[in-house]
Amino acid sequence: MTTAFHADAEIASQPQIWRQVAEFAPSVFSKLPKKGERVAVVGCGSSWFMSMAYASLREAAGHGETDVYAGSEFNYERKYDRIVSISRSGTTTEIVELLGKVKTPSVILTAIHNSPVEDRATETIIMDFADEQSVLQTRWATAALGLLRAHLGFDLNSIVKDAEEALASDISDLVEVEQISFLGRGWTIGLAHEAALKTRESSQFWAEAYPALDYRHGPLSISQPGRAVWAFGDIPADLVRDIKSTGALFESSKLDPMAHLIRAQRVAIAIAKKRGVDADNPRGLARSIILDK
Ligand code: F1P
């Protein structure tokens, strides 16, 4: 299948979307957690993985303790000053229910106006310009994380060039492998999970994700020629050596890790095309998971 997917155009639009996010971000900074607040970040699927990345970055930046939960696994016994939730659709059942139950001040980051989450959250940030036609989340995920990075003081405009480079780079070797394990450290662990989810969703392809140093605790056994290990951000030289000695293709990059994720999105779509799978409509997935009660 060589047809273009909505996801192709959405992935390619990321440099432009990141510029828009950089311009939009200061207008909503007052809705986001203050320095020193104890925060929980929640989301499902891609929105959970972006939550993971943000939580790690926020705490590392000295903004305060920041926990992260999949929407279904929130710990209602813990006390937080604020809940940050991410949901492109604004209709995901776990997030709607969670925000309906808690009394904690909350802010929802969504792409949709007048959604059920908006009624339940204290504050709403709507980035409709980053919404997507594909069921697959690509630019929404990086726009959401980009906004939160901007609030932590990061200049998104400084990595637009990296995004352009990731879009123009050669991915042909990676499209030929039979399996990919994605690795990260700190905030890039969320990116590794997102990259693995992307390849599973879009092309029903075998991909996994681990904190880099944990990869040696067993998962390394699946590494071999014809498979790939993909690191987001820096990983220790001795781990790179151990990975390379298995004969697997090793991918790493000097690009900003969020821009490096664009390469993984492209690989995911290219594999879908190679396998004749409809990347815009992943098997068994809807744009939003709304559970029957
Ligand atoms: C979360 C999510 C996505 C997934 C699919 C279904 O959606 O699980 O990660 O790719 O689109 O929903 P949302 O809460 O961000 O709308």
Which H or E element spans position 117? helix 116-120
Closest residue by CA, ligand 1 atom 3:
45
Q: Which two tokens stand for residue 249?
A: 């293709």
Q: How far is the CA of 109 from the centre of ligand 1 (A)?
A: 13
Q: How far is the CA of 239 from the centre of ligand 1 (A)?
A: 33
Those residues with Cβ within 8 angstroms of residue 254's Cβ, 6 or more apart along the chain or in another chain: none
Q: What is the pLDDT of residue 1?
A: 46
Q: Which atom of ligand 1 is nearest to the CA of 287?
A: 11
Q: How far is the CA of 139 from the centre of ligand 1 (A)?
A: 13
> What is the CA 27 to chain-centroid distance, rounded?
23
Q: What is the pLDDT of residue 49?
A: 98
Q: How far is the CA of 236 from the centre of ligand 1 (A)?
A: 33
Q: Which atom of ligand 1 is nearest to the CA of 89?
A: 16
Q: Which atom of ligand 1 is nearest to the CA of 136?
A: 10
292 pLDDT more than 90: no
CATH 3.40.1280.10 fits 159-275, yes or no: no
Same fold for the pair 6-157 and 159-275 = yes
Place of tokens 């004749």: 276
Q: What are the beta bridge partners of residue 41?
A: 68, 84
Q: What is the pLDDT of residue 123?
A: 98
For residue range 163-200, list pLDDT tens digits in order. Answer: 999 999 999 999 999 999 999 999 999 999 999 999 99
Alpha-carbon distance values, 112 to 18, 83, 91 (Å): 18, 19, 9
158 pLDDT more than 60: yes
| pTM (two decimals) | 0.97
Mean pLDDT value of segment 205-221:
96
With a Cβ cut-off of 6 Å, ligand 1 is lined by 44-47, 87-89, 92, 95, 135, 137, 285, 287-289
- How much of the chain, in percent, has pLDDT values that exceed 70? 99
For residue range 73-112, list pLDDT tens digits in order. Answer: 999 999 999 999 999 999 999 999 999 999 999 999 999 9
Q: How far apart are CA 89 and CA 172, in angstroms?
A: 33
For residue range 264-287, list pLDDT tens digits in order. Answer: 999 999 999 999 999 999 898 888
245 pLDDT more than 70: yes
Q: How far apart are CA 231 and CA 249, in angstroms?
A: 11
263 pLDDT more than 50: yes
What does the mean pLDDT of the chain come to?
96
Q: Which atom of ligand 1 is nearest to the CA of 90?
A: 16
293 pLDDT more than 80: no
User: pLDDT band at residue 2, thresholds of 50, 70 and 90?
Assistant: low
List the end-to-end C-alpha distance of the chain, in Å, as a whole number.
38
Closest residue by CA, ligand 1 atom 15:
87
Q: Which atom of ligand 1 is nearest to the CA of 197?
A: 10
For residue range 31-47, list pLDDT tens digits in order. Answer: 999 999 999 999 999 99
We find that the CATH architecture of domain 6-157 is 3-Layer(aba) Sandwich (3.40)
Strand order in the sheet with 228-231: 207-211, 180-184, 228-231, 249-251
130 pLDDT more than 90: yes
Provide the residue ranges of all domains of the chain, joining segments of one domain with +: 6-157, 159-275
